[in-house]
A and B are shown apart, each in its own frame.
Chain A
Amino acid sequence: MSALSDTAGIAPGPQKRMKSRVWAKFRRNPSALLGAVLVAFFVCVALLAPVLPVPGPLETDWLAVRKPPSAAHPFGTDEIGRDVLSRMIWGAQASLMAGVVSVFIALLLGIPLGVAAGYRRGWTDAAISRVTEALLAAPFLILAIALAAFLGPSLTNAMIAIGLSAMPAFIRLARGQTLSVMTEDYVESARAIGLTDLAIIRRYILPNIFPPLLVQATLTVATAIIAEASLSFLGLGQQPPAPSWGSMLNIAKNFLEQAPWMAMWPGIAIFLVVLGFNLLGDGLRDALDPRET
């Protein structure tokens, strides 16, 4: 059952109390706070990229090719003398955008389909469920690679490919949660007083299926960031010379002996931001779970 199902249709007072209880539980969880701090840090870095005092990510300096970290270039330079720190900062934009946009695509398509399957049941449910099972049968990354190859290599297409590959998990979750909420008395009452299907979905179903979807979305952002880095690493995501952590690693693997720092920083950044989203997702799950005290 959804974490908030017992709050639907109740007065704003108890709902406010529940929100503050969730926030209090979240605040008491050091791992969740660490996750939130990590995510906030990378979001700030990505947003502030244009105003940070670093060279442009495409600026080359042929006198500083593959230079190790120094005061002038704290993270070193790459194979054509570009500042690695600058490319890392601008790469954060690509990675975070890929994570968030692809999950948004998955939610945008997955929620309506999942709710329709759970609410309508019958043939609608059977058809949507079979298609979902078929999509879930192909491993996430293999499906994303196949879709990215079909759409053509670019960051936008990688986001679409990842979003479509992540969509089945959201359809299944939204369907399951809808089926669960549908058994509640308040949905029966809403039907009895003659509310339309759309009104019931908007007022009762969507607010109650939101918490587990939020947790799943946060955890999927982590998966999507790794998937984007993987696709860019394979040459199917962000295209050079535009910076992305995955494509930086793809180039860096050719200079491991001469310039190991080129490979080190992008990996650490991916690890930290993914860890941040995983910790945040776990923290949200614990905070929204009414059984956890």
Chain B
Amino acid sequence: MLGFLARRILIAIPTVILISVFVFTLQKLLPGDPVLAMAGEERDPEVLAFLREKYRLNDPLYMQYFHWIGGVLQGDLGISLRTRQPVLTLIGEKLPVTIQLAVMALIIAVFIGVPTGILSAYRKGTWIDWLANIVALSGLSIPNFWLGIMLILLVSVNLGWLPASGYAPLSEDPLRSIQTMIMPAFVLGTGLAATLMRHTRSAMLGVLKSDYVRTARAKGLNERVVILKHALRNALVPIVTVATLLFGELLAGAVLTEQIFTIPGFGKLVVDAVFNRDYAVVQGIVLCTAVAFIAMNILADAAYRILNPRMRDT
């Protein structure tokens, strides 16, 4: 396993380098002068020149890249041009919020998607299967920002059950934290639940046809034991890998969900940074997201090998 991990990490290095080049180049091509944005009302040429010098914006592009990547390797993602805080600190502040949202969304997705997928596969070809498929496809087709708006209208404005926006840290006020996060997590979780449902159904259909399930049934085992113990355990292999790979979708979904519910997380940070032309923050966020996504891919591969003994020798 260690050899496998080392190989996967080595293969990932050129990809990470390419991402860093891409992210850096892209942000440098953004319209607008970051120094003017940073200086605000101040238009003194000396101040502008000082700021350009300070942030090495006069250096050739490749020198700026090497300077930037050298810092990145030491954990320095630069300073936010707007808030003057280190990018890593900003990400570190916002990330727990988005992680809480993502974990809650994933729990909701698993609780909806996996049982529905099992039921749909077990009742293949019946109206239950048809309905579950239509619901799953609808879940994939609903824009989550619109679902968020409609839920705010129904649950917050009309019924007054939950707050429409806001955030409380889990460590400070757990009840308030869950109250403010449950609706965004549901919005984010529904699309993922649909994806999980489709994968669970497909995996279960494959497993239900297998010899060992037929043998378990022939032995006269209770149907629930056959489904939950024999079939689901094997079907879980692709489901776990898919759930790991949903990480990217979770982060992308969080961008819009956090905007609608005014949650001060990673997604809101990226939108604010884009609108404020905060190059360093956008660079840091896209780079961190991509590296985390690659890490999740490696973890998914590792989980697949751990869960599937036949893969261990390859």
Binding site for B on A (CB under 8 A): 31, 130-131, 133-135, 137-143, 145-147, 149-150, 152, 222, 226, 229-230, 233-236, 249, 252-253, 256-257, 260, 263-264, 266-267, 270-271, 274-275, 278-279, 282
Contacts and interface: CB of A to CB of B under 8 A. Distances in A.
Given A145-B271, A271-B138, A278-B137, 6 more contacts: A130-B18, A147-B26, A222-B141, A264-B150, A274-B143, A275-B137
A229 B253 CA distance: 13
Interface of B: 14-16, 18-19, 22-23, 26-27, 29-31, 133-134, 137-138, 140-143, 145-147, 149-150, 152-153, 157, 248-249, 251-253, 255-256, 259-260, 270-271, 274-275, 282, 285-286, 289-291, 293-294, 297
A137 B296 CA distance: 10
A269 to B, nearest CB: 10
Contacts of B29: 150
Contacts of A234: 256, 259, 271
A257 B275 CA distance: 27
Contact of B256 (A31, A230, A235, A279): A230
A103 to B, nearest CB: 16
Contacts of B150: 263-264, 267
A263 B31 CA distance: 32
Query: Nearest 8 CB-CB pairs, A to B?
Result: A267-B146, A141-B252, A134-B18, A275-B141, A139-B248, A139-B252, A274-B141, A137-B290
Contacts of B19: 134, 137-138
Contacts of A140: 248, 252
A249 B26 contact: no
Contacts of B22: 134-135
5 contacts: A135-B22, A146-B26, A150-B31, A256-B149, A271-B146
A131 B15 CA distance: 7
Contact of B15 (A134, A253, A274): A134
A147 B282 CA distance: 11
B26 A150 contact: yes
A152 B99 CA distance: 30
A146 B153 contact: no
A278 B249 CA distance: 18
A40 to B, nearest CB: 17
A230 B145 contact: yes
Contacts of B290: 134, 137-138
Contact of A271 (B30, B143, B251): B143
Nearest to B260: A253
A149 B153 contact: no
Contacts of B137: 275, 278-279, 282
Nearest to A229: B143
Contacts of B30: 149-150
Given A146-B26, A270-B143, A271-B138, A137 B149 contact: no
Task: Give the interface centre of B29, B146, B153, B291 by most chain A CB atoms within 10 Å.
Answer: B146
A266 B146 CA distance: 9
A139 B249 contact: yes
Contacts of A253: 149, 260
Nearest to B148: A253
Contacts of B18: 130-131, 133-134
A41 to B, nearest CB: 15
Contacts of A249: 145-146, 149
B272 to A, nearest CB: 11
Contacts of B149: 249, 252-253, 256, 263, 267
B15 A137 contact: yes
Contact of B251 (A142, A236, A282): A142
B213 to A, nearest CB: 21
A47 to B, nearest CB: 22
Contacts of A271: 138, 141-143, 146
A229 B274 CA distance: 17
Contacts of B256: 141, 230, 233-234
Contacts of B270: 142, 145
A138 B288 CA distance: 9
Nearest to B18: A134
B286 to A, nearest CB: 6
A141 B293 CA distance: 14
B293 A139 contact: yes
Nearest to A272: B141
B88 to A, nearest CB: 18
